[in-house]
């Protein structure tokens, strides 16, 4: 039985109207605004400007001017770092306001979002440090007549497109690194969860960012995002979202050969051997599957259990899952909040129905929860899942855990690698050889060993295969927003190529 935290009617909530930031000015859209209905409470909580193609074009040209003739790219690393540090301090000062917006617009538990905002502050401060340490190379080993210098220069104008599941955290994984490198940007948050990103625009202006360096255009992907991925004045696109839209983004950017960074979907396995610390694993399995209601590209949505322990482990996970608190995201005790839209809830339910029809068994949950408002899904466990089932291969993006079994280490690796995704994976064993072998053989960008979904600003994040291109976070993240330029300097007289006859 799931522990329910019933949402109560919102009190003293004032619907907030959010405008766009273009060239340092706050602007309304010409068309009707987009109303956001809270997924947890079923009432309107915000309105955002429905940006148009022309709004996106103006924002891009503003960022282009700010890069070509503005002060930001030419500022010292120390000067850019100071602005990013002020922004981090202002984010921390407005943390509760930002957390409330993400909780109410995305249906995320407020305690979880507070952690995400704190993590974002750390990322901004880390990026600020990288602004001062970004450097090139020099080569004085090319002979007495040559000195080579390799520069890292800001790539230019970056289009940043972020999803609804981590509205503030994901923009923090992109924007401060682009700014640290000296780039300018146009940011499009999801139309479902734009509030905290618009507030970030206020924070950046207060921190002293020059006009036009960051522009924020709200609206839909077809209207705004399409322009941001095709416009010739954009040099790079950084996108987080579904693999399907990532392919479209890459195709759009290819028209003008833009650099592309993509953080896409995942179907992440946790491989568990009989010698594992099962107490620690059970907690990690429940956390990995149901954190953020499973609406997480890094969710541990596939358990690959050794057959000898599968029955006992599934029973223990079900007992643990029954204690997870589901419901009102504004209650600090809630662990699983609302599903983002009614349509997405239907999609999750369809995956569960399809799995049952092909032979899987619902061991726990499986039902939608009726609170009389909003949309919620019980934490769900599907046993008897086979590697060829859709629920074992496709990203459900909900609180659904698929359980598969294996007999040998080689079989576990084959199952883990048998799908199109390669974002992350976990391995649980007290044997170092087992952990290291899995870590080297499973094709994924992050392999956790005896833990799951830990992270730090210093550690790169990104995927193999159709989970994306490039890496966010880590010291290489700022380099992604640069181009390399070679200065080949000749010293002294140059030997003539033309040798006269006789």
Residues annotated catalytic, as ranges: 263, 297
Comparing CA positions, the residue from 388, 386, 367, 392 lying closest to residue 378 is 367
SS3 377: strand
Here the tokens at position 476 are 């290489």
Query: Rounded to an integer, what is the distance from CA 215 to the centroid of its chain?
Result: 20
Q: What CA–CA distance (Å, rounded) separates 248 from 82?
A: 37
Comparing CA positions, the residue from 303, 307, 265, 311 lying closest to residue 284 is 303
Comparing CA positions, the residue from 180, 262, 302, 249 lying closest to residue 445 is 262
Q: What CA–CA distance (Å, rounded) separates 59 from 389?
A: 44
Q: CB neighbours of 57 closer than 8 A, spacing ≥ 6?
A: 227, 231
480 DSSP assignment = G
> Exposed/middle/buried for 437, CB within 10 Å: 0-12, 13-18, 19+?
middle
Taking CA 323 as the corner, what is the angle to CA 322 and CA 327, rounded to the nearest 5 degrees?
95
Phi first, then psi, for residue 120 (nearest 5°) are -65, -40
Here the tokens at position 86 are 């002020």
The CA-atom distances, in angstroms, between 119 and each of 78, 265, 366, 474 are: 23, 22, 32, 14
Query: Rounded to an integer, what is the distance from CA 56 to the centroid of its chain?
Result: 22
DSSP letters spanning 222-253 = IIIIHHHHH-TT--EEEEES-HHHHHHHHHHH
Here the tokens at position 266 are 């995942």
User: Is residue 218 a contact partner of residue 131, using CB atoms and an 8 Å limit?
Assistant: no
The CA-atom distances, in angstroms, between 184 and each of 11, 120, 235, 481 are: 40, 20, 10, 10
SS3 461: strand
User: Is residue 345 a contact partner of residue 339, using CB atoms and an 8 Å limit?
Assistant: yes
User: Is residue 486 a contact partner of residue 477, using CB atoms and an 8 Å limit?
Assistant: no
Phi first, then psi, for residue 276 (nearest 5°) are -70, 160
Here the tokens at position 468 are 């994306």
User: Is residue 177 a contact partner of residue 478, using CB atoms and an 8 Å limit?
Assistant: yes
β pairing state of 146-154 and 482-490: antiparallel
Here the tokens at position 88 are 């981090």
Q: What CA–CA distance (Å, rounded) separates 147 from 139?
A: 6
User: Is residue 273 a contact partner of residue 372, using CB atoms and an 8 Å limit?
Assistant: no
Q: What CA–CA distance (Å, rounded) separates 36 from 191?
A: 8
């Amino acid at each position: 039985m799931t522990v329910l935290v019933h949402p109560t009617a919102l009190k003293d909530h004032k619907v907030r109207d959010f405008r766009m930031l273009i060239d340092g000015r706050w602007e309304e859209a010409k068309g009707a605004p987009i109303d956001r209905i809270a997924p947890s409470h079923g009432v309107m909580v915000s309105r955002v400007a429905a940006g148009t193609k022309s709004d996106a074009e103006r924002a891009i040209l503003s960022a282009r001017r700010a890069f070509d003739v503005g002060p930001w790219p030419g500022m010292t690393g120390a000067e850019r770092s100071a602005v990013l540090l002020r922004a981090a301090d202002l984010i921390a000062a407005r943390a509760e306001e930002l957390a409330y917006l993400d909780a109410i617009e995305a249906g995320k538990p407020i305690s979880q979002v507070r952690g995400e905002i704190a993590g974002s502050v750390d990322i901004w401060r880390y990026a600020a440090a990288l602004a001062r340490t970004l450097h090139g190379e020099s080569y004085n080993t090319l002979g007495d007549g040559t000195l080579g210098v390799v520069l890292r220069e800001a790539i230019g104008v970056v289009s940043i497109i972020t999803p609804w599941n981590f509205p503030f955290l994901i923009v923090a994984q992109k924007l401060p690194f682009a700014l640290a490198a000296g780039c300018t940007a146009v940011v499009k948050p999801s139309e479902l969860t734009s509030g905290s990103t618009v507030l970030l625009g206020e924070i950046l202006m207060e921190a002293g960012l020059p006009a036009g360096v960051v522009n924020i255009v709200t609206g839909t992907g077809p209207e705004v995002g399409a322009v941001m991925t095709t416009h010739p004045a954009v040099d790079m696109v950084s996108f987080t979202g579904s693999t399907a839209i990532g392919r479209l983004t890459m195709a759009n950017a290819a028209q003008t050969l833009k650099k592309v960074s993509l953080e896409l979907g995942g179907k992440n396995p946790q491989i568990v051997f009989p010698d594992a610390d099962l107490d620690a694993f059970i907690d990690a399995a429940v956390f990995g599957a149901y954190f953020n209601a499973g609406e997480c590209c890094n969710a541990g949505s596939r358990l690959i259990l050794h057959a000898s322990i599968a029955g006992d482990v599934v029973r223990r996970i079900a007992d643990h899952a029954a204690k997870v608190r589901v419901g009102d995201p504004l209650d600090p005790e809630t662990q699983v909040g609302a599903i983002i839209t009614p349509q997405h809830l239907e999609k999750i339910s369809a995956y569960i129905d399809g799995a049952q029809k092909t032979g899987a068994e619902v061991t726990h949950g499986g039902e939608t929860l009726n609170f009389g408002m909003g949309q919620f899904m019980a934490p769900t466990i599907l046993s008897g899942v086979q590697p060829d089932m859709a629920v074992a291969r496709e990203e459900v993006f909900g609180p659904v855990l698929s359980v598969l079994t294996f007999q040998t280490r080689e079989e576990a690796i084959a199952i883990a690698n048998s799908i199109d995704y390669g974002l992350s994976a976990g391995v649980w064993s007290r044997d170092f050889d087992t952990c290291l072998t899995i870590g080297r053989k499973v094709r994924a960008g992050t392999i956790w060993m005896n833990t799951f979904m830990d992270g730090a600003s210093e550690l790169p994040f990104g995927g193999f295969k159709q989970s994306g291109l490039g890496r966010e976070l880590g010291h290489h993240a700022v380099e992604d927003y640069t181009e390399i330029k070679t200065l080949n300097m000749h010293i002294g007289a140059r030997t003539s190529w033309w040798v006269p006859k006789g």
